[in-house]
A and B are shown apart, each in its own frame.
Chain A
Amino acid sequence: MAVARQKPFVIRHMPGFPTLAIVCFFALYMPLVPLVIYSFNAGNNIALWEGISFRWYVAAWDNELVKAAAVRSLVVASFASFFATILATMAALGTTRTRAYRGQTTIYALINQPLMVPEIVTAVALLILFAMIKEATGYHGYAYLIIAHTAFCIPFAYLPIRARLEGMDKTLETAAADLYARPWPTFRRVTLPLMLPGIFAGAMLAFVISLDDVVITEFVKSAGQDTLPTYMLGQLRRVITPEINAISSVLLLISVILVTLIFFLSRNKTA
């Protein structure tokens, strides 16, 4: 074909690409640098450097409120990412390992709805709905937070799992069926092990998203259910000490570790 003869279109070689990329990365990551640096500030101040120390990390570790909020965040994120991953795995199988059917695109759009609808809309909707349930049942436990987090974590778990499934060779499953494996053993011995990296990546992404959520949590939480982000939000109007920087840096570190793991797990599929 005539087209093939032309110089291949490589986006990285477009004029201005490196500049634009550098500007974008700068805008994304630059604000984090002072945040992390000042978390090591020896002084009481978030803008006045007084030497290096770990005192704010110690202060955050000794702060019972921070500890309780961190535990709460981890519990909610663990449960929410667990349930979201199971549901997302089933959804991914249902949208890739079937013959094309009517309404498939609609289902795809519905699953990814939390990515499109503004978070504040979901938050207010959940506030109203859960308030009715809370009044009717008198139950104020963590289930509301976990259900809400599960719901908005599903697309984040779904996308990497689906990507993994789409990249997998379907002939392997066909071969298993040819060798008289029934659907369940095929799934357990062939499909599941192959899609496992996608599942882990999805679970971790869901975990990070749940860990970082502010808006929905703020509206859904009942008495005594402040998570780390909503606790931090409450501090902002008053005195801010580098303790907030220290907590943020730890959250950032957890997120970076998980995202790095996701990267390596999802890279395997092409290797």
Chain B
Amino acid sequence: MKTFVTTFLSSLLVFASGTALAAGELNLFNWGNYTNPKLIEKFEKEHGVKVTITDYDSNETALAKVRAGGHGFDLAVPSHSHLPIWISEGLLANPRVDQMENFKHVSEQWRNPDWDPGRQYSAPWQWGSVGVVVDTSVYDGDINTAAIVLDPPQELIGKINVAPEMLDVIHTTVLYVGGEVCTTDKAVLRKVRDKLVEAKPKWKSMDYGIIEKFAGRDLAASLYWNGAAFRARLKNPDVRYGYPREGYSLWADAVVLLKDAKNVDNAKKFLNFIMAPENAALISEFARYANSIDGSEKYMPPDMATANEIIVPDEFKSAGQFYPTCPPAAQKMYTAIWTELQK
């Protein structure tokens, strides 16, 4: 209680003085519950900088606040789908991440992503994939296909969840029926619509938060993200993660320096810091997604370094791709299908 009172009083002081200590600060604007406190502690100790983390809950909120200006943040962590918008709207400074000392640790496949050509603007944070999660005690057939949710086997009907994310669901279905992502080809989109409308009655739910439900065996399959699949397996050893061979989407979050950052030097130190393998491992250890840093496996918890959910098996590597936000014409048709699906 005493500490509580002291903190209360000291925050009054901070309020009164307006700004806290000006020297040695860094303001990170990141997704909630996504930053390992150990990582921050280590950075603070090594560089004598006080790091403040502020949360957001969607790419849109983050973008809106940064666009408005005057936000006081130095670094933000947008997703690959939105990063080109940040760059093209001139919201970012270019810290030349590709010339930083620790850039040599970034894996070859992450050095030149489509959404940040030459990787000048963004340092890798975490990445993952959209695949299928299956309880193999219920169904032990082939799980590396989107048929698990779109043409489900008898055993899984009525026990399927689908993440309520429009782009993830429609991209998966477009690839499943053999189309191209962001297509405006009506024949393909008709197939997509028919497939989804046909599959939906076989689903149980379209929700976030699957880990508990796999643990309690309320669900037997789901279209979802790999990190959650991994955590579900830790609670229910029969859970496996499948990479749809018809094609699946990848996503990545990356750290960027804002144009109006006040603590540019500290921010650059942080960008370089998180590309060191032992620090990248701390990021992954907390939120349980892969980073893009070679050699970080050595520092990861042993259950992660070999996990099929985190380390993509070679045969499925080529099926995974990053997809940008679709052009408005495609977006409009996607939304129409999505609305119909929600009915």
A→B interface (CB under 8 Å): 44-48, 65, 67-68, 71-72, 74-75, 79, 124, 127-128, 130-135, 139-143, 218-219, 221-226, 230-231, 233-240
Contact = CB atoms under 8 A, between A and B. Distances in A.
Contact of A133 (B8, B70, B208, B209): B70
B234 to A, nearest CB: 10
Nearest to A48: B216
15 contacts: A46-B212, A65-B37, A71-B4, A72-B11, A124-B64, A127-B64, A128-B68, A135-B260, A141-B14, A219-B61, A223-B54, A234-B32, A234-B56, A235-B33, A239-B33
A234 B55 CA distance: 6
B69 interface: yes
B215 interface: yes
Interface string B207-234: 0110111011010000000000001000
Nearest to A240: B209
A218 B65 CA distance: 9
Interface string B14-43: 110011000000010101111001000000
Nearest to A233: B57
Given A48-B215, A140-B19, A130 B70 contact: yes
Nearest to B74: A223
Interface of B: 4, 7-8, 11-12, 14-15, 18-19, 27, 29, 31-34, 37, 52-57, 61, 64-65, 68-73, 208-209, 211-213, 215-216, 218, 231, 235, 260, 287
Contact of B7 (A67, A219, A233): A67
Given A134-B69, A135-B70, A238-B32, A71 B11 contact: yes
Given A47-B212, A48-B212, A240-B209, A230 B4 contact: no
A135 B65 CA distance: 13
Contact of B15 (A47, A130, A142, A234): A142
A240 B32 CA distance: 11
A234 B212 CA distance: 19
Nearest to B216: A48
Given A234-B55, A237-B32, A139 B27 contact: no
B89 to A, nearest CB: 15
Contacts of A128: 68
B216 A47 contact: yes
B216 A233 contact: no
A47 B64 CA distance: 34
